[in-house]
Amino acid sequence: MATNFTEELIVTPGKKAKLDRWDPEDTLGWDKDHKMRAGLAKTIKMLDGFQYLLYAEHKRALLIVLQGLDAAGKDGTIRHVMSGVNPQGCRVTSFKQPTSEELAHDFLWRVHKAVPPIGDIGIFNRSHYEDVLIARVHDLVPKDVWSRRYDQINEFERTLSENNVKILKFFLHISKDEQKHRFQKRIDDKSRQWKISESDFAERKYWDAYVKAYEAALTNCSTSHAPWFVIPSNKKWFRNLAVSHIIAEAMEEMHMKFPKPTIDVSKIKLV
């Protein structure tokens, strides 16, 4: 199936993003069958090859940002989509509540430190966008503070892009009913109960406020150099398929090449 996931799921820069445009149940015509499984396996294998090229060429880095409401599947996306890459060249950073040291600096300080070096893939499990999401929903800072952060984020991401860091940002879009279903599965499964926290359930009452906050972030911060993609994620298999395809398409467009050898291999004689 010739689906251009990038074109279908991108938040068009300069246009207002409304999340009801994307149905969390949507699969773009794909079914959970052998064709999907074969396509996913092929794409994950491609990512392995692209990562090897990225490291060998050593001219740029790739930063993947994953955002979503609780239980959207950020951990699952990392586990499945990046299952074929070399762990030595892939770094995952999970941004928790800021430490006292981090609070003593600007909100992007801890983020910049976690940007992947040239040749590596970096994944942010939550990110600098928390500072225009939870900070907005819970009034952690005044409106005149968080509202300025959209431009600050755009300038930060532009700086990274101009210094050869490719940025791909994914909002994992689930419905409120699907979140409830996933929370219930955690409650019923002893192997998942450790993931339960009171804050997860408390945050559900702010669902509408988070939707507005995400729509504002997607609208203000989807740019040509750091686009946002809305990934329908009620179906985990489609989430993995879409994210893997978009990453592979972006890496293919880098037109990476292996560097020339530093020695004349024709003169090497093995004894």
- Proportion of the chain in helix, strand, coil states, percent, rounded to 5: 50, 10, 35
Average pLDDT of span 214-233: 98
- Cα distance between residue 69 and residue 237, in whole Å: 18
Give the model's pLDDT for residue 265.
Answer: 87
Average pLDDT of span 68-92: 95
**Where do runs of H (alpha helix) occur along 58-122?**
74-81, 100-103, 109-113
> What CATH number is given for 5-254 in this structure?
3.40.50.300
**pLDDT for 1 beyond 70:** no
Give the predicted TM-score (pTM) of the model: 0.96
Q: What percent of the chain has pLDDT over 90?
A: 89
**Cross-strand bridge partners of residue 19:** none
**pLDDT for 198 beyond 60:** yes
Average pLDDT of span 121-136: 97
Q: CA 32 → CA 5, 74, 152, 236, distances in Å?
A: 16, 20, 41, 10
Give the model's pLDDT for residue 192.
Answer: 85
- Cα distance between residue 89 and residue 75, in whole Å: 18
Give the model's pLDDT for residue 267.
Answer: 87
Summarised one tens digit per residue, pLDDT across range 45-76 is 999 999 999 999 999 999 999 999 999 999 99
Summarised one tens digit per residue, pLDDT across range 148-171 is 999 999 999 999 999 999 999 999
**Angle of helix 149-162 versus helix 207-221 axis, rounded to 10:** 50
Domain parsing of the chain, residue ranges: 5-254
